[in-house]
Chain A
Amino acid sequence: MRIFRILYFKELKSYFLSPFGWLILCFAALMQGFALTATFKQFSDNAVPESLVFVTFTSPIFGIYFLFLFPVLTMRLFSEENRSGTIEGLLTAPVRTWQVILSKFSAAYTTFLSLWIVAVVHFYLFTIVTDVPPPFTNGELAGAITIIALMGMLFTAFGCLASALTSSQIIAGVVCTAILIFHIFLGFIPLLFGDQIPAAPFFEFISSQNHLREFSRGLIDSRAIVFYLSTSAFFLFLTFHLLDFRRWKP
């Protein structure tokens, strides 16, 4: 456990003791502000039957910057170690491979979670500085944050896998983006081919867009929770074997 802690804090430091983590935080805060402002504009122009949380988190602006975060957060994790050769020093120390993977994943995930503190503050800022009753409930906000945390977990795991594949950060970033776009695309299949096709329930089940819509209405669906937890574990497991590949390749 101590080794995990040492590795974890080392990774976390590389985000927050350099401009890198703060730049991402800045970018995320800015984009969250944009998304919220655009939603307010919509609310002031005409009547919207949905809550502020729902409209903000399903707006196109959110979709774009949300997906952009993961390649940026994760592309460095393993590819940089592969490129500089420090992976050799790391894995010849008395350290288990899973400790390395979990620590890197956790650090990236912690950084990702910290980005949403600003978003939550934005929403409550509205209730504090105006005398208008808040156009959302706490349940909706909690649901939205829950699904963002769950999606973030899976997408960070995608990023870990992409980063372990290569020794180039750029390629890692591109591969991560490709996996993310592919995942989102799978969710759109029922829209493209109609929900009458036999596989439609499956695509609806894994669709992050659907999950986001349900959760930000305050509907917490345990199937989605299980889906994200298990798929994240699966992708970390793949990452583990990718990193251990040198140990069993012919």
Chain B
Amino acid sequence: MIEISNLSKSYGRLKAVDQISFEVTRGEIVGFLGPNGAGKSTTLKMLTGFLPPTSGAARIAGKDIFRESLEVRKKIGYMPENVPLYTDMRVKEYLRFRGGLKGLSRSRLRKRLSEVMETCGLTHVRRKMIKTLSKGYRQRVGLADALIHEPDLLILDEPTNGLDPNQIRAIRSLIKNLGEKHTILISTHILSEVEMTCNKVVIIDEGKIKAADTPENLVGSMRTAGRVTVELKAPKSEVEEIILEFDEITRVVGESLQDDWNRFTLFAAPKTDTRLKISNLAAEKKWPLRSLSRRIGTLEEVFIELTRKD
């Protein structure tokens, strides 16, 4: 659906986006993550044809974003950051205007209008002026606008920015439902959102792609993933000696607790699970064991690991 190859954008001397390449296949919901100023919005603006790339190329549904911009724009539903709308129009009037611009015929427009207003929960505010709507409703109007021409690809730039938790939930479930029919590219820096909705994550920082994979794989391949913490009533030195003989374990750090209990942190290779071995060992040696846990990373940790500056 989207093929990006070596796409770059410079603003004068600043390289906002530097030779990025990634692909999105049909039907995926992709989270496009990065800290502020990482080049997310710039990339999306290039994909939607608002900004031309400095070098490189991208194709959407097989069409070049620069040479066949008009064709590409017909296939994209784009919701820009902060959702700029004509505030002196009414909701239905605005959506009718946008649908017309996107080339919908009169009869199809009428049908789509009621459909998108239904989908986005706008039916009861359709006669209101956009300037009187709350931010959550404006966001929905923006989404309805992006959806009106049934685009193959939805590009949403921070769709839940500035919303309250209830509204975020509503928009998130809306996006999840849309994912059944559309390919979606969402830019955001709210990670829990991505964990819940996306089946692929692309992390960008300082204009470069840092990672592109499924959230599970990213979390699994983290440095701290696979780390096991165990609390045993056993002599420290002996435990450390025996455990270090396991292949997966690279390092053991012991720490004394009250009443002869010791806590051991076992550093293991990613994607390994040594818990069973440890509990078997404890049973065999008759060491009392009161806690055993394997660390499951979060996307937040992956994000911080990949984009931290120090």
User: Interface residues, chain A, CB within 8 Å of chain B?
Assistant: 2-3, 6-7, 10, 14, 18, 84-96, 246-248, 250
Contacts and interface: CB of A to CB of B under 8 A. Distances in A.
Interface string B129-141: 0000000000000
A79 to B, nearest CB: 14
Given A92-B73, A92-B76, A248-B52, A86 B86 contact: yes
A6 B101 contact: yes
Contacts of B85: 84, 86, 89
A89 B102 CA distance: 11
B100 A2 contact: yes
A243 to B, nearest CB: 12
A241 B142 CA distance: 28
B131 to A, nearest CB: 11
Contacts of A87: 84
Nearest to A10: B97
A116 B145 CA distance: 38
B22 interface: no
Nearest to A95: B101
A94 B102 contact: yes
Contact of A88 (B50, B71, B74, B145): B50
Contacts of B73: 92-94
Contacts of A2: 100, 103
Contact of B88 (A18, A89, A248, A250): A18
B53 to A, nearest CB: 10
Given A85-B80, A88-B80, A93 B87 contact: no
Contact of A3 (B50, B76, B78, B101): B101
A250 B50 CA distance: 15
Contacts of A96: 70
Nearest to A3: B101
Interface in B46-90: 48-52, 70-71, 73-74, 76, 78, 80, 82, 84-88
Contacts of B102: 93-94
Interface in B89-120: 97-98, 100-103
B50 A91 contact: yes
Interface of B: 10, 12, 45, 48-52, 70-71, 73-74, 76, 78, 80, 82, 84-88, 97-98, 100-103, 145
Contacts of A248: 52
Given A18-B88, A84-B84, 12 more contacts: A2-B100, A3-B100, A6-B97, A6-B100, A85-B82, A92-B48, A93-B73, A93-B102, A94-B70, A95-B101, A248-B52, A250-B12
Contacts of A90: 101
Nearest to B47: A92
Contacts of A10: 97
19 contacts: A2-B100, A3-B101, A7-B101, A18-B88, A84-B85, A84-B87, A85-B80, A86-B85, A86-B86, A88-B45, A91-B50, A92-B49, A92-B50, A93-B102, A94-B71, A94-B74, A94-B102, A246-B50, A248-B52
A95 to B, nearest CB: 6
B101 A94 contact: yes
A96 B100 CA distance: 14
A85 B50 contact: no
Nearest to A246: B51
A92 B86 CA distance: 15
Given A84-B87, A85-B82, A3 B97 contact: no
Contacts of A14: 88
A3 B103 CA distance: 8
Contacts of B145: 89
A96 to B, nearest CB: 7
B138 to A, nearest CB: 12
Contacts of A84: 84-87
Contacts of A91: 49-50
A88 B78 CA distance: 10
Contacts of A18: 88
Nearest to B146: A89
Nearest to A248: B52
Contacts of B82: 85
A88 B41 CA distance: 12
Contacts of B50: 88, 91-92, 246
Nearest to A92: B48
Nearest to A100: B101
Contacts of A250: 10, 12
